[in-house]
Amino acid sequence: MNAIPPPLGIVCELTHRCPLQCPYCSNPLELARAGAELGTDAWLRVLDEAAALGVLHIHFSGGEPTVRKDLPDLVRRASANGLYTNLITAGVLLDAAAIDRLKAAGIDHIQLSFQDVLPESADQIAGLAGAHERKLSVAKAIRQAGLPLTLNFVVHRHNAERVPEMLALAESLGAARTEIAHVQYYGWGLVNRAALLPSRAQLEFTLQVVQEARARLAEKMVIDYVVPDYYAQRPKACMGGWGRREMVITPTGKAMPCHAADSLPGFEFPSVTDTPLADIWSNAPAFRRFRGTDWMPEPCRSCDRREIDWGGCRCQAFAMTGDAARTDPACALSPDHALMLAVAEGRPEAAPAFVYRRIGHAPASVSMEPVPAEATV
Decide which of ligand SF4, ligand FES, none touches 256; Cβ closer than 5 to 8 Å per partner kind. Answer: none
191 lines the binding site for ligand FES (CB under 6 A): no
Query: Long-range contact list for 359-362, CB < 8 A, 24+ apart?
Result: 359/16, 359/17, 359/31, 359/33, 360/31, 360/33, 362/29, 362/30, 362/31
Decide which of ligand SF4, ligand FES, none touches 173; Cβ closer than 5 to 8 Å per partner kind. Answer: none
Residue 153 CA to residue 159 CA, distance in Å, equals 10
- CA-angle at 264, arms to 263 and 269, nearest 5°: 95
Binding marks (x or -) toward ligand SF4, 213..252, rule CB under 6 A? Answer: ---------------------xx-----------------
Q: Phi/psi class of residue 187: alpha, beta or left (left: φ > 0; alpha: ψ in -120 to 50)?
A: left
**DSSP of 173-229, one letter per residue?**
TT-SEEEEEEPP-SHHHHHTHHHHPPPHHHHHHHHHHHHHHHHHTTTT-EEEEE--G
Sign of CA pseudo-dihedral 220, 119, 357, 90: positive
Decide which of ligand SF4, ligand FES, none touches 328; Cβ closer than 5 to 8 Å per partner kind. Answer: ligand SF4
Q: Which of 261, 272, 280, 284 binds ligand FES (CB under 6 A)?
A: 261
186 lines the binding site for ligand FES (CB under 6 A): yes
Q: How far is the CB of 47 from ligand FES (least distance, A)?
A: 24
**DSSP of 319-363, one letter per residue?**
HHHS-TTSPPTTSTTSTTHHHHHHHHHT--SSPPPP----TT---
Q: Which of 45, 177, 214, 305 binds ligand SF4 (CB under 6 A)?
A: 305
Binding marks (x or -) toward ligand FES, 299..338, rule CB under 6 A? Answer: --------------xxx-----------------------
255 lines the binding site for ligand FES (CB under 6 A): no
225 lines the binding site for ligand FES (CB under 6 A): no
Contact 170, 178 (CB under 8 A): yes
For residue 98, give the 3-state DSSP assignment. helix
Binding marks (x or -) toward ligand SF4, 309..338, rule CB under 6 A? Answer: x-xx--------------xx--x-x-----
Residue with Cβ nearer ligand FES (68 or 314): 314
Chain contacts with ligand SF4 (rule: CB under 6 A)? 234-235, 299-300, 303, 305-306, 309, 311-312, 327-328, 331, 333
Interaction site with ligand FES (CB under 6 A): 186, 238-239, 242, 258-261, 313-315
